[in-house]
Amino acid sequence: MQDPARLQATGSEPLTLEQEYEMQLSWTQDPNKRTFIVLDKEMVDGDFIQGHPHVEAMVGDVNIYMNDLDDSQMAEIEIMIAETKR
């Protein structure tokens, strides 16, 4: 992600494509992190099919961090929904 407005809105640092892939891999291997993609059903092209990526309908994500060593039931939740440019 390189767009300055998106970086500022998400509190992110600019990453190369290789760094993005490395981060994605680390998330899939970390047992204390989960991420879910948020779709807007109104933006799905054609029929909604479970398991298909529906990239056109992605509007955000939900990240869950289970980092409390004293309480395995405690988690931090981060919800990010993109705002449409007008």
In percent, the amount of the chain with pLDDT more than 70 equals: 92
Model confidence pLDDT, tens digit, residues 10-27: 677 888 888 888 888 998
* Residue whose structure tokens are 């991420």: 35
What is residue 12's predicted lDDT score, i.e. its pLDDT? 76
* Residue whose structure tokens are 């060593």: 69
DSSP letter assigned to residue 12? P
Q: Rounded to whole angstroms, how far apart are CA atoms 83 and 59?
A: 8
Contact 34/64 with Cβ under 8 angstroms?
yes
What is residue 71's predicted lDDT score, i.e. its pLDDT? 92
Give the confidence band of 64 by pLDDT, cuts at 50, 70, 90.
very high
Say yes or no to pLDDT of 29 above 90: yes
**Sheet arrangement for strand 33-39:** 33-39, 58-65, 76-81
What is residue 85's predicted lDDT score, i.e. its pLDDT? 59
Average pLDDT, the chain: 84
